[in-house]
Structure 1
Amino acid sequence: MASRRSPTARHRRLVAELNRLRENSGLSRVEVAERIGSTDTTVWRYETGLTRPRPSDVSALTDVYGVTGEARDSLIQMAVEARRRGWWHPHRQALKPGFDSYIGLEAEASLVRTYEPLVVPGLMQTEPYARAVIEATSIVQTPSEVEETVSVRISRQELLHRPGDPIHLVAVLDEAVVRRQIGGRDIMSEQLEHLVRLGGLPNVEIRIVPFSAGAHAAMDGKFCLLSFPDPEDPDLLYLEQAASGLVPDDPNQVHRYTSMFGSLCDMALDTETSVAFIAQMARRFSSR
């Protein structure tokens, strides 16, 4: 399914490299466009990510910027990989706008840090729980679209079990997540038992922010931070609303939410206590 060579992530890196190379060259977009026989609008679209350049376009740009050898080959290969379609591409119509891009970036991430105030994160949901959440929140989706969305959500979870290279997940959950009954007692009990099992994996950390912690900086809503294996790829922030998802292109925003996540971790129960609390809640839901 997913691999670390995600087209979306490759495109993000390519955009950053093209911007860096032009800035270092001292050339304007108009000057670059003249040298490759194109328009400044096209160069702008390459540099803003609105258009994915063909490998031949990138080859022409490397000639302008004087990039040779392995560096040139690497950029052209990025362009090849960026134009491929990820496994999620056929399902874009069933997803909220922007979420397909997030899936593509998540596929290449090495670390996911997520805060959820209301529901279990998608990477950790059982199929019945996921279906109950999607049915409740997807007011305009048809039954077939609901099932397609459920399938995509479950497919993403392979990242946690990727042989030899699983993604590392740190999930901070509000206490409400494990108390709110979604889909009935049996579904909720199964979901919480699943969380307990996930909490036993070496690449998964679960932390509960108890009600007793009081007010905190993340009360405005959920968010997710992605980190990548290559240090040249900066961390990324994903914010989700009811009808769309957003990836703010602002390092200050990333820094703010990184600090916010650290604050949440300071307020949360430790991993062992958190998992024990989840297990306790699972028993409550399973009792008749």
Structure 2
Amino acid sequence: MITDVESATPALCRLQLGRELRQLRHEAGLTSTQVVRTLICSPSKLTRLETGENAVVETADVMALCEIYRAAPEKRALLLGYAAVTKTKKDWWQSPEYRPAITPTFKAYLGLEATAAALHKYEGEFVPGLLQTEDYVRTIHRRAHERLSTDEIDRLVAVRVTRQEALHRELAPLKFAAVINEAVLHRRVGGPAVMRAQIEHLAEVAELPSVRVQVIPFRVGAHPGMNGAFTLLRFDDAQSIAYLENLGGASVTRRRADVALYEEAFNDLQILAVGPQESLGMIREAIKEH
């Protein structure tokens, strides 16, 4: 439960509101079909409310559902508070300064990332985005998007840096576990100064209570991450989701069989990688190289 509704993000409020509504329905012993018939709405509308997929939640809908479920007054007030946040505040990626730099697919991903309880990431080529410095981000985008203007690059950098706030938020900081290839520590991106600052930042962030960084040493040889980078988003009471990104675009998969493959691969990578403390030692050694 969110203890400080006013300071919570709309994304978190939508997620918690959905959980609470779903729990109330179960406690009332009602099926989705029964609720839809009483509320006189489409099944998809109730599904979106219970999964937190609506950008804005109407207070009238919440009040109607609370009436159907016979929710206690204090519960109604809490849920209406969640709904109010979705109407009065916007998620950061919806603001005009960021919108031009965010594709529809990535917008959907940001909504998932903002509500995930934990994020597991394997990266073989560069420092994971949530752990990058601004200069490192800028260097990568300049190389990957050579046709973009300076302003467009600036917006991409701003999006990446703003996403990192999830690791430092006071309310439910994102739990982030990353496994990186040892090559990431040695690939010089942006010159010695940029790379040294990046590795120093990586060492600093790796010591946050909510962050775990492990390194796959070269000596391990072949490993499950050699087919490419991937991200797993984990949720408190919902199935995990896998996110894949490459030159051809990005995709999200919810298929249990596919997600299970990536979960197994990440577990294997964590076992093959050296532990967090030894990894931190490797990171600090790499600082000397740059």
- TM class by shorter chain equals 0.7 to 0.9
Between the aligned partners of 1:111 and 1:41, the Cα distance in structure 2 is 27
Q: Which residue of 2 aligns with 1:134?
A: 141
Q: Is the 8 A contact 2:14 2:57 kept in 1?
A: no
Q: Which residue of 2 aligns with 1:264?
A: 269
Pick from 194, 212, 225: which aligns with 1:218? 225
Q: Which residue of 2 aligns with 1:79?
A: 83
Superposition map of 1:10-159 within 5 A: 10-15=13-18, 24-26=29-31, 28=33, 32-39=35-42, 42-43=45-46, 46=49, 49=53, 52-83=56-87, 84-90=89-95, 91-139=98-146, 141-159=148-166
Between the aligned partners of 1:240 and 1:163, the Cα distance in structure 2 is 29
Q: Which amino acid aligns with 1:89?
A: Q
Between the aligned partners of 1:43 and 1:21, the Cα distance in structure 2 is 13
Q: Which residue of 1 aligns with 2:3?
A: none
Structure 2 residue ranges without an equivalent (≥5): 1-5
TM-score normalized with structure 1 length: 0.78
Change (3 A) 1:114 1:55: same
Q: Deviations over 1:229-275 (max 9, x none)?
A: xx446555433344654443345544443332221011012223222
Instruction: Report deviation, 1:134.
Output: 1.4
Change (3 A) 1:234 1:38: closer
Q: Which residue of 1 aligns with 2:253?
A: 248
Q: Is the 8 A contact 1:4 1:108 kept in 2?
A: no
Between the aligned partners of 1:37 and 1:47, the Cα distance in structure 2 is 16
Structure 1 residue ranges without an equivalent (≥5): none
Q: Deviations over 1:85-136 (max 9, x none)?
A: 1122211320233333443444455543221111111121111111011122
Q: Comparing 143-152 with 246-255, which one deviates more in the overlay? A: 246-255
Between the aligned partners of 1:168 and 1:108, the Cα distance in structure 2 is 11
Q: What is the count of residue pairs matched by the alignment?
A: 279
The higher-RCO structure (CA 8 Å, 6+ apart) is 1
Instruction: Please say if 1:204 is aligned against 2:211.
Output: yes
Percent identity between matched residues is 33
Q: Is the 8 A contact 2:15 2:115 kept in 1?
A: no
